[in-house]
A = this chain, B = another copy of it.
Amino acid sequence: MKMVFHYPNGSSYTASKQSTTAKQHHETIYGGRGMTLEDELNAANAYYLQIGRAVVHKKPTPIQIVKVDYPARSKAVIREGYFKTPSTTDYNGVYRGWYLDFEAKETKNKASFPLKNFHQHQIDHMRACLVQDGLCFVVMRFAVLHRLFVVPASMVIVAWDNQQNSRKSITLATIIDAGFELTPQLEPTVPYLDGVDWLIKKKVGASSGNKFERN
């Protein structure tokens, strides 16, 4: 335990360099300090893989390779390459017989999640996966609020399709109502499978389970 001295007004002795204890407490609870949501999801996936709970990987960024050198006695070096636009979401895998497909998105906003965080190809891909009965969702973080949700893809798609006539963001209230709020843990810091269990319950209308245990 680190001692922190407070002035009578409650501010910390070393306030100029440090967060308040309340803020520190928050950061401790919410884990993954200094990690991006992507880093935390990669760690969650590594953990889930290790304990045999799910097999989910982030897809590599597609690169158009134009020029490769093969230096003697060394491995191949890419000398000219370009980033390509992906045609899918970033994450997919399998969990108890279910196909999982999701995107991770973060905002600094406090009241709503802007749809400009999404791209047409992600919406198209999630729509196609839903038709095939995949479980599609977005892991959505409100960074400033330290709140994290699993939001069904269907909800994002509806908002996307209506954005010309309606608002260009999804309100936090809507997300609280129609999404699943994750409770951060020590490991994984982003326990998104809790949200997937909730999605499965909604879908099959029963206790979450492996599809093969349902008959």
Contact = CB atoms under 8 A, between A and B. Distances in A.
B210 A133 contact: yes
A132 interface: yes
Q: How many copies altogether? A: 2
Contacts of A59: 59-60
A77 interface: yes
Interface of A: 49, 52, 54-55, 57, 59-63, 65, 75-84, 86-88, 92-99, 101, 125, 128-129, 131-134, 210-212, 214-215
Q: Taking chain A's interface residues, is the majority helix, strand, or loop, or is none over half, making it mixed? A: mixed
Nearest to A60: B62
Contact of A98 (B76, B78, B99, B215): B99
B88 A99 contact: no
Given A60-B60, A94-B133, 18 more contacts: A52-B131, A55-B134, A57-B87, A57-B88, A59-B60, A60-B61, A60-B84, A60-B86, A63-B78, A75-B82, A77-B81, A93-B99, A96-B133, A97-B132, A97-B134, A99-B99, A133-B210, A215-B215
